[in-house]
């Protein structure tokens, strides 16, 4: 069975979080998101808004630029 996009993204964020030796509590305190929501997302049980994904990435120390650009 193939993983959904949410499951794949959640698993990747879990791996990155663990590589940075951060807990869900660490991410929650930096983002204002609940530990239960973060946990549910890492397991692929819920989706995530782009704004929350940006918060999560920034808490992990990544700059995220998701601006829309007009092709010329």
Render pLDDT for 9-53 as a digit per residue (tens, 0 to 9).
899 999 999 999 999 999 999 999 999 999 999 998 998 888 888
CA distance 61 to 48: 19
In a domain, 16, yes or no: yes
The total number of structural domains in the chain stands at 1
In a domain, 29, yes or no: yes
- Is 2 exposed, middle or buried, given 0-12, 13-18 or 19+ CB atoms closer than 10 A? exposed
CB-based contacts of 29, cutoff 8 Å, min separation 6: none
pLDDT at 30: 94
pTM over 0.85: no
CATH number at residue 20: 1.10.260.40
Q: Does the pLDDT at position 54 exceed 70?
A: yes
DSSP 46: S
**What's the pLDDT band for 1 if we cut at 50, 70, 90?**
low
Which range marks the domain in which residue 15 is found?
A: 5-59
In a domain, 66, yes or no: no
Q: Does the pLDDT at position 58 exceed 80?
A: yes
Say if residues 13 and 42 touch (Cβ distance below 8 Å).
yes
CA distance 11 to 44: 8
């Amino acid at each position: 069975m193939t993983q959904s996009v949410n499951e794949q993204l959640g698993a990747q964020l879990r791996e990155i979080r663990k590589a940075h030796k951060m807990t869900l509590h660490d991410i929650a305190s930096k983002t204002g998101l609940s530990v239960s929501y973060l946990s549910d997302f890492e397991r692929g049980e819920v989706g995530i808004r782009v704004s929350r994904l940006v918060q999560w990435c920034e808490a992990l120390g990544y700059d995220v630029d998701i601006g829309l650009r007009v092709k010329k």
